Structure 1
Amino acid sequence: MSRSPLDRREFLERAGQSALVLGAAASWAPAGGAAEPSPASTPAAESFVKLLYESLTPGQREKICFAWDHQDNERGLLRTRVANNWNITDETIDSKFYTPEQQELIHAIYRGIIAPEWHERYDKQQDDDSGGFGLNNSIAIFGAPGDGKSELVLTGRHMTLRCDGDSAEHVAFGGPIFYGHDPLGTFDEEANHEGNVFWPQAVEANKLYQALDGKQQKLALVSDLPSEEQVAFRGAKGGFAGIPVTELSADQKARVQEVLRKLVEPFRQSDRDEALACLKAQGGIDACSLAFYQPGDIGNDQVWDNWRLEGPSFVWHFRGAPHVHVWVNVADDPSPQLNA
């Protein structure tokens, strides 16, 4: 028997309790500085998803709620789809489809899956690309939160993010994700990528390229650029482009770890930990290769705008030309199928 939607009084009371949990998770940090995992940090966003789900009317559920393995006639397994600019459902967050309280919950879920130190940068990306979070974003909920597997998928321009509470087996981030930025609204960025909140990831990767010797750079630099959305897993025998990490010195491998730290930095601690655990399960960075692509070098400055870190079931593809698109697909084995 399905539950009836929460009445307003119960809704506000439980939302307030959940907000205290999320606030504690977002602000907690040890005296040493960098945030560490907290028992509250993992369930915080998921608690908002459950509360949102319980607040939905039957009419709302009909529009945005689906079975865990719902198949869309045009888009296949809808829960696992990833794209650079799309709406998973028709109802945008800041529309009258949702009550103001429900909108607040969705905003809290969004902030809960982003690392606190990245809130301002993610908000800038949303302001630049969509006029602000919620205006052109939409969500879908798969399964029944609090009763078995469930996942909320959040979409929009330059956004596919997920909140799954570890329901999705084998995969990090609840499945493949996407992020990007076009800060000036010109589509074609200049070589310095002015104002792009994600460009520092490429700067870190290019520092590593500059630390390679001539022979290593020749191995790492690739003349054929794959389509950006081609991030399906290729397994241990994938024949990855670029330089195998095993060809790097200990100091150079430390730089790869710094690139990896930059890549996972925008996301909440539990998702960072899960991504790194998935990588470890497939052999760690020694199972990966790093490729820098000659095509799309904006300004012909040999600061490579397009690059990829790839392993048996780890793909982080950074497309920096004409503006930043980043496709992420991470699991602990190559079995999950990509739906892009």
Structure 2
Amino acid sequence: MSEQPKLDCPDCEDGVSRRDFVRKMTGLAVAGSLVPLAAGSRRALAAPTPKSTAETAVKRFYDSLSDTQRKEICFPFDHKLRHNISANWPITKAKIDDYSKDQQVILDEIFRSVTSPDGYDRFQKQMDDDSGGFSEYHVAVFGTPGSGQFEWEMTGRHLTIRADGDSVANAAFGGPIVYGHGAGDGKKGLPGNVFYYQTLKANEVFNALDGKQRKAALLTEAPKETDVLVQGSAGAFPGLSVGDLSSDQKALVESVLKVILAPYREEDVEEALTLQKEGGGLDALHMAFYQAEDLGDDQVWDIWRIESPTVVCHFRGAPHVHAYLNIAKKA
């Protein structure tokens, strides 16, 4: 495997090497307040179940594990590792390449099943570029698959993704997820980046605003990228109120949400949209763009954020993409 180029991003440099794994686990920054990461009563909405394709594959993977493997990657459901959120970290020491070929096939099946066809292809490109491929990523299992309390999680450089069978109540995707891509690092337009299209879509909203609206939407400095706490109805949200926009402008914001969710499986998307509506829908959203780190000084704003009582999407597109998505109902 060829060595990957080093990119100038402190968040990316933090926590991917095996030698740093033990240090990272002892110094783990737990962000338990991000969502109510605990089992609760089920709700009547479209969501994954223990019988969904990914979740049944998780059970087959769990059943295939040796006693030694289970000791290394299986944890109680409420273990602190499940609450961590980062753009770059190994949730367990073993890489996917360390599993048997049959187990690797199941892991690919799980990953394929929690993504859309287009999302699967984008993530494959991202993983190839950023870490040398899918085989370089890490997985963990929390709880007992097939029960009402379990979650599979996969992490690594620029990726955190989950399958929980709706074990985590009132939270889409089983909790906060992360995506990103290092391609085009520091260059205008992020050439080759598989997620730059999302910035272009978000900027369609900005371009449709009038002068007064742009003044409300365009802020100077963005909050910390990992500040993705779901605030609930009492929260304070930066930027422009989508509820004050025209119907055409609201439609553009809705199209951004659809683009953000498009890489993921339909069941998770439906749950996310239901929670978004429960938080007030489009009218409750705020959208902000940030002047900081404007690559190429082209006023195509590379850092932007969408937030409501139940939605946080923080997209940091400079020097490359780190994006955090948390859609949940505050406990």
Q: TM-score, normalised by structure 2?
A: 0.83
Q: Could you say which residue in structure 2 is the equivalent of 1:25?
A: none
Report what 1:162 is aligned to.
162
Kindly state the Cα deviation for residue 110 of structure 1 after the two structures are TM-superposed: 1.1
Q: Does 1:242 align with 2:242?
A: no
CA distance in 2, matches of 1:279, 1:109: 25
Q: Shift in Å at residue 117 of structure 1?
A: 2.3
Write the deviation string for residues 157-190 of structure 1: whole angstroms up to 9, x where unpaired.
0011001111111100000000000125xxx331
Cα drift, residue 219 of structure 1: 0.6
Hey, what does 1:123 align to over in structure 2? Answer: 124
Specify the alignment match of 1:45 in structure 2: 54
Pairing partner for 2:84 from 81, 89, 96 = 81
Residue 55 in structure 1 maps to residue 64 in structure 2: yes
CA distance in 2, matches of 1:257, 1:151: 29
The alpha-carbon deviation at position 293 of structure 1 amounts to 0.5
Q: Deviations over 1:201-240 (max 9, x none)?
A: 1101101100011110111001121111111122222221
Give yes or no for contact 2:50–2:164 (8 Å, CA) kept in 1: no
Write the mapping of 1:314-329 to structure 2, written as runs, cut at 5 A. 314-329=311-326
Q: How does 1:225-304 map to 2 (within 5 A)?
A: 225-304=222-301
**2: CA distance between counterparts of 1:59 and 1:207?**
51
1: distance between equivalents of 2:192 and 2:151? 32
Distance 2:238 2:151 in 1: 33
Quick one: percent identity of the two aligned structures?
A: 48
The match for 2:305 is 308
Moved beyond 2 Å, runs of 4+: 37-42
Alpha-carbon separation, structure 1, partners of 2:51 and 2:189? 36
SS at the partner of 1:231?
coil
Query: C-alpha distance in 1, partners of 2:302/2:64?
Result: 44
The verdict on how the C-alpha distance between 1:40 and 1:47 changes in structure 2, with shifts beyond 3 A counting, is: same
- C-alpha distance in structure 2 between counterparts of 1:309 and 1:107, whole Å: 31
Q: Distance in 2 between matches of 1:211 and 1:255?
A: 9
What amino acid is the match of 1:150?
A: F
Q: Could you say if the C-alpha distance between residues 57 and 42 of structure 1 is closer, same or farther in structure 2, counting changes exceeding 3 Å?
A: closer
Q: Distance in 2 between matches of 1:271 and 1:42?
A: 14
Q: Report the AA paired with residue 82 of structure 1.
A: I
| Structure 2 counterparts to residues 151-230 of structure 1, below 5 A | 151-184=151-184, 188-230=185-227
CA deviation digits over 1:104-136, x for unaligned, max 9?
11111111111012222211101100111112x
Equivalent residue letter for 1:218: K
Partner in structure 2 of residue 139 of structure 1: 139
Where relative contact order (Cα < 8 A, 6+ residues apart) is larger, the structure is 2
Kept in 1: contact 2:50–2:165 (CA 8 A):
no
Partner of 1:99: 100
- Partner AA of 1:46 in structure 2: E
* Aligned-partner Cα distance in 1 for 2:173–2:254: 19
Q: How far has the Cα of 1:312 moved from its partner?
A: 1.0
- 8 Å contact kept, 2:303–2:318: yes
Match for 1:109: what amino acid? Answer: I
Secondary structure, aligned partner of 1:201? helix
8 Å CA contact 1:107, 1:134 repeated in 2 = no
In structure 2, stretches of 5+ residues that fail to align are 1-45
Query: Where in structure 2 are the equivalents of 1:109-120 lying within 5 Å?
Result: 109-120=110-121
2:330 — aligned with what? 334
Aligned position for 1:27: none
Distance 1:278 1:38 in 2: 11
Task: Give me the whole-angstrom Cα distance separating, in 2, the residues matched to 1:271 and 1:89.
Answer: 24
What do residues 79-114 of structure 1 show as CA deviations (whole Å, max 9, x unaligned)? Answer: 12111010011011102xx21111111111111111
Counterpart residue type for residue 310 of structure 1: E
Name the amino acid aligned to 1:158: H
Change (3 A) 1:39 1:323: closer
Q: 1:58 to 1:311 in 2, by over 3 A?
A: same
Q: Which whole-Å CA distance do the structure 1 matches of 2:48 and 2:268 have between them?
A: 14
Q: Which residue of 1 aligns with 2:40?
A: none
Q: Report what 2:76 is aligned to.
A: 67
Q: CA deviation at 1:329?
A: 1.0
1:244 aligned partner, one-letter code: S
- The C-alpha deviation readout for 1:37-89, integer Å capped at 9, x for no partner, is 9999971111110001111111111111111112xxxxxx2112111010011
Aligned AA for 1:149? Q
Distance 2:151 2:317 in 1: 30
Offset at residue 290 of structure 1 (A)? 0.2
